């Protein structure tokens, strides 16, 4: 099952009010996921949470369930690493 890039971007723009330099809040990610889950249930009667995510990607990068990250555009290296650093720092308190 695939979500078209344009549709995913439209949904994200509705949820994330800032620009790329503003960072991404975990609440925004949770709202985005909830919106996707609601959409798929309403239209297709599919529970996304019951499915296995094998791969997720953007025009800049993709990652599979084996944990391998592939950066697809050299111009996106800084952006991808920035967001990975944000996630690590946000979750640093949860890692023992």
Q: CB count, 10 Å around CB of 54? A: 8
d(CA 72, CA 95): 29
pLDDT at 66: 92
pLDDT at 31: 93
- Mention every residue, 6+ apart, whose C-beta is less than 8 A from residue 58: 5
Token pair for 3: 């979500």
Helix then strand count (H, E) for the chain reads 3, 3
Give the model confidence (pLDDT) of 18-70 as tens digits: 776 667 788 888 899 999 999 989 989 999 889 888 888 888 889 999 989 99
Cβ 80 vs Cβ 60: under 8 Å = yes
């Amino acid at each position: 099952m695939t979500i078209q890039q344009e549709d995913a971007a439209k949904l994200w723009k509705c949820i994330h009010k800032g620009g790329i330099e503003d960072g991404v809040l975990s609440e925004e990610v949770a709202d985005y996921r909830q919106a996707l889950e609601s959409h798929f249930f309403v239209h297709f009667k599919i529970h996304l949470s019951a499915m296995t995510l094998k791969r997720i990607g953007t025009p800049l990068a993709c990652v599979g369930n084996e944990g391998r990250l592939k950066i697809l555009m050299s111009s996106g290296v800084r952006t991808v690493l920035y967001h990975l650093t944000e996630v690590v720092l946000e979750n640093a308190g949860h890692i023992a």
